[in-house]
Amino acid sequence: MFEGVEEIWLDGEFVDFEDAQIHVLTHALHYGTGVFEGVRCYGTEAGPAIFRWEEHLDRFYDSGEVYDIDIPFSKAELTEATEELIRREELNSCYIRPIAFYGYGPLGLNPGKSPVQVALAVWPWGAYLGDEALEDGVDVAVSSWRKYASSQIPTNAKTTGTYVNSVLASQEAKANGYAEAIVLNKEGNVAEGPGENIFLVRDGEIYTTGLAESILDGITRQTAIELAEEMGYTVHDEATISRGELYTADELFFTGTAAEVTPIRSVDDNEIGAGTKGPVTDDIQTAFFDLVESGDREEWFRYL
């Protein structure tokens, strides 16, 4: 995955890949007290351009705020460092991973005055669930693991420690021969994928689970909602979706920075629609890829 990556930005410096090291007594290693982002830079017709960088950066700082992780760099500094890193790595398109975490310090649960460390890494990353998945769709299974409720751990923050929930769901799905999981919330309704939001199509209208369902408010989710509305679709973006409604959906698809817009062709071995990418999914996927390939919407791209 990281072949050819030469440098990482760590705490204000560009360091060689091998030298991007932290101490084993790092607070975040023990307690998951870090926040992170996943962003894509696309090789658009206007050159490399970071997709919805400001929104990702805002979510990054907001995630930090939940845990008093006071990121010791300004948004402008992180932006400059990210752009410089992409240039140094000579990448046209890539995935960008900013992370901020409590570093080496006292190992009491309250991180107190532990230093906040920040790193940025970039690497080439193709279709998360595979090129074939984008075309034909994926087979998914409802996980036996539930999503934690936002009353237990904030679900609007992208916190390193909470991803053990996603790891469990993802491992279970793969072990059972599925490409990905769908995770239900504490009430037993649909929350999201381990690293994706979920959309359902019924009778030509689009539904996606609302923030009250313990989801991360995905930036690709917001993009898909906007693109769909611009195409004239009715989008219900605060939906509650039961497990049974998944099985009877006309179409289902995932959205995410890594997964982009990926059709779902079956859930728990129940074929969804015709068992291929449906027409509404196709419309939204086409609009999404047209957008990121052209780079043609200034407010959503940061051109390098």
Per-residue x/- track, 31-70, ligand PMP (CB under 6 A): -------x--------------------------------
User: Of the candidates 57, 118, 216, 239, which one interacts with ligand PMP according to CB under 6 A?
Assistant: 216
Closer residue to ligand PMP in complex, CB, 189/255:
255
Query: Which stretches of 143-287 are assigned E, i.e. beta strand?
Result: 180-184, 190-192, 197-202, 205-209, 235-239, 251-256, 260-267, 270-271
Closer residue to ligand PMP in complex, CB, 88/174:
174
Cα–Cα distances in angstroms (integers) from residue 165 to residues 23, 161, 169, 194, 247, in the given order: 25, 9, 6, 8, 24
Closer residue to ligand PMP in complex, CB, 7/213:
213
Stretch that binds ligand PMP, among 6-14, 189-197, 201-209, 227-235 (CB under 6 A): 189-197
Stretch that binds ligand PMP, among 21-29, 77-85, 217-225, 231-239 (CB under 6 A): 217-225
How many residues touch ligand PMP under the rule CB under 6 A: the total is 14
Give the active site residue among 147, 158, 174, 186.
Answer: 158
Closer residue to ligand PMP in complex, CB, 36/104:
36
DSSP string over 13-62:
EEEEGGG----TTBHHHHH--EEE--EEEEEETTEEEEETHHHHHHHHHH
User: Of the candidates 219, 246, 261, 291, which one interacts with ligand PMP according to CB under 6 A?
Assistant: 219
Query: Which stretches of the chain are assigned E, i.e. beta strand?
Result: 7-10, 13-16, 34-36, 39-44, 47-51, 94-102, 116-123, 138-142, 180-184, 190-192, 197-202, 205-209, 235-239, 251-256, 260-267, 270-271, 301-303
- Given a contact cutoff of 8 angstroms between Cβ atoms, the answer to whether 184 and 165 are in contact is no
255 — phi, psi (to 5°)?
-130, 150
User: Of the candidates 195, 263, 273, 278, which one interacts with ligand PMP according to CB under 6 A?
Assistant: 195
User: Of the candidates 82, 197, 208, 285, which one interacts with ligand PMP according to CB under 6 A?
Assistant: 197
| Residue that the structure tokens 């957008």 belong to | 291
Closer residue to ligand PMP in complex, CB, 143/255:
255
175: its two tokens = 């072990």
Stretch that binds ligand PMP, among 122-130, 212-220, 233-241, 278-286 (CB under 6 A): 212-220
The C-alpha atoms of residue 286 and residue 283 are separated, in whole angstroms, by 5
Q: Count the alpha carbons within 13 Å of 37 in the hemisphere toward its beta carbon.
A: 29
Closest approach, Cβ 39 to ligand PMP, in A, equals 8
User: Of the candidates 34, 48, 111, 218, which one interacts with ligand PMP according to CB under 6 A?
Assistant: 218
**Chain residues 158-187 in contact with ligand PMP, contact rule CB under 6 A:** 166
Per-residue x/- track, 238-277, ligand PMP (CB under 6 A): -----------------xxx--------------------
CB atoms near residue 148 (< 10 Å): 18
121: its two tokens = 């890494």
Q: How much of the chain is helix, strand and coil, in % rounded to 5?
A: 30, 30, 40
Annotated catalytic residue 75: no
User: Of the candidates 26, 209, 220, 285, which one interacts with ligand PMP according to CB under 6 A?
Assistant: 220
**Chain residues 95-114 in contact with ligand PMP, contact rule CB under 6 A:** none
The C-alpha atoms of residue 238 and residue 211 are separated, in whole angstroms, by 7
Q: Which residues bind ligand PMP (CB under 6 A)?
A: 38, 166, 192, 195-197, 216, 218-221, 255-257
Catalytic residue ranges: 158
